[in-house]
Amino acid sequence: MSNYHIKHLEEYFQVYRKSVRNPESYWEEIAEEHFMWHKRWDNVLSYDFEKPEFKWFEGAQLNITENCIDRHLRTRGDQTAILFEPNNPDEEALHITYNELHDRVCKMANVLKVEGIQKGDRVCIYLPMIPELAVAVLACARIGAIHSVVFAGFSSTALATRINDSNCKMVITSDGSFRGSKTIDLKGIVDEGLKKCDSVETVLVVNRIDSGVEMKEGRDKWLQPLLDKAEATCEPEIMDAEDPLFILYTSGSTGTPKGMVHTTAGYMVYTAFTFKNVFQYRDGDVYWCTADIGWITGHSYIVYGPLANGATTVMFEGVPSYPDYGRFWEIVDKHKVTQFYTAPTAIRALAKENLEHVEKYDLSSLKVLGTVGEPINEEAWHWYDENIGKKKCPIVDTWWQTETGGIMISPIPYSTPAIPTFATLPLPGIQPALMDEEGKEIKGNQVDGRLCIKFPWPSMARTIWGNHQRYKDTYFSAFKNMYFTGDGALRDSVGYYRITGRVDDVVIVSGHNLGTAPIEDAINEHPAVAESAIVGYPHEVKGNALYGYVILKETGETRNQDNLRKEINQLISDRIGPIAKLDKIQFTSGLPKTRSGKIMRRILRKIASNDTSNLGDTSTLLNPEVVQEVMDNVIK
Q: What residues line the site for ligand WT7 (CB under 6 A)?
A: 250, 295-297, 372-375, 397-402, 423, 485-487, 499, 502, 508, 513
**Whose Cβ is closer to ligand WT7: residue 26's or residue 249's?**
249
Element (H, E) at 472: helix 468-475
**Whose Cβ is closer to ligand WT7: residue 57's or residue 497's?**
497
**Whose Cβ is closer to ligand WT7: residue 176's or residue 375's?**
375
**Whose Cβ is closer to ligand WT7: residue 373's or residue 426's?**
373
**Whose Cβ is closer to ligand WT7: residue 87's or residue 401's?**
401
State the minimum distance, in angstroms, from the CB of residue 584 to ligand WT7.
Answer: 22
Element (H, E) at 24: helix 23-34
Asked if 601 and 505 touch (Cβ cutoff 8 Å), the reply is yes
Asked if 62 and 239 touch (Cβ cutoff 8 Å), the reply is yes
State the minimum distance, in angstroms, from the CB of residue 341 to ligand WT7.
Answer: 10
Q: How far, in Å, CA of 311 to CA of 285, rounded? A: 7
State the minimum distance, in angstroms, from the CB of residue 399 to ligand WT7.
Answer: 4
Asked if 160 and 310 touch (Cβ cutoff 8 Å), the reply is no
**Whose Cβ is closer to ligand WT7: residue 338's or residue 342's?**
342
State the minimum distance, in angstroms, from the CB of residue 376 to ligand WT7.
Answer: 7
State the minimum distance, in angstroms, from the CB of residue 486 to ligand WT7.
Answer: 6
State the minimum distance, in angstroms, from the CB of residue 579 to ligand WT7.
Answer: 11
Asked if 335 and 85 touch (Cβ cutoff 8 Å), the reply is yes
Amino acid type, 283: D
Q: Is the peptide bond before 52 cis (omega within 30 degrees of 0)?
A: yes
By 3-state DSSP, what share of the chain in percent is helix, strand and coil, each rounded to 5?
A: 35, 25, 40
State the minimum distance, in angstroms, from the CB of residue 510 to ligand WT7.
Answer: 11
Q: How far, in Å, CA of 141 to CA of 69, rounded? A: 12
**Whose Cβ is closer to ligand WT7: residue 206's or residue 464's?**
464
Longest dimension (CA), the chain: 73
**Whose Cβ is closer to ligand WT7: residue 80's or residue 274's?**
274
State the minimum distance, in angstroms, from the CB of residue 381 to ligand WT7.
Answer: 11
**Whose Cβ is closer to ligand WT7: residue 296's or residue 430's?**
296
State the minimum distance, in angstroms, from the CB of residue 401 to ligand WT7.
Answer: 4
State the minimum distance, in angstroms, from the CB of residue 251 to ligand WT7.
Answer: 8
**Whose Cβ is closer to ligand WT7: residue 31's or residue 245's?**
245
State the minimum distance, in angstroms, from the CB of residue 316 to ligand WT7.
Answer: 17
Q: Is the peptide bond before 592 cis (omega within 30 degrees of 0)?
A: no
**Whose Cβ is closer to ligand WT7: residue 447's or residue 631's?**
447
DSSP 298-355: HIIIIIIHHHHTT-EEEEE-S-TTSSSTTHHHHHHHHHT-SEEEE-HHHHHHHHTS-T
CA–CA–CA angle 112, 118, 123 (5° rounding): 60
Amino acid type, 213: V
Amino acid type, 561: Q
Asked if 483 and 473 touch (Cβ cutoff 8 Å), the reply is no
Three-state SS sequence of 587-636: ECCCCCEECCCCECHHHHHHHHCCCCCCCCCCCCECCCHHHHHHHHCCCC
Q: How far, in Å, CA of 153 to CA of 624, rounded? A: 40
State the minimum distance, in angstroms, from the CB of residue 415 to ligand WT7.
Answer: 18
Amino acid type, 584: K
**Whose Cβ is closer to ligand WT7: residue 156's or residue 297's?**
297
By CB neighbour count within 10 A (0-12 exposed, 13-18 middle, 19+ buried), where does 323 fall? middle
Angle between the 561-575 and 156-165 helix axes, to the nearest 10 degrees?
Answer: 30
Q: How far, in Å, CA of 91 to CA of 212, rounded? A: 21
Q: Which residues contact 578 (CB under 8 A, 6 or more apart)?
A: 153
**Whose Cβ is closer to ligand WT7: residue 96's or residue 425's?**
425
State the minimum distance, in angstroms, from the CB of residue 517 to ligand WT7.
Answer: 16
Amino acid type, 480: K
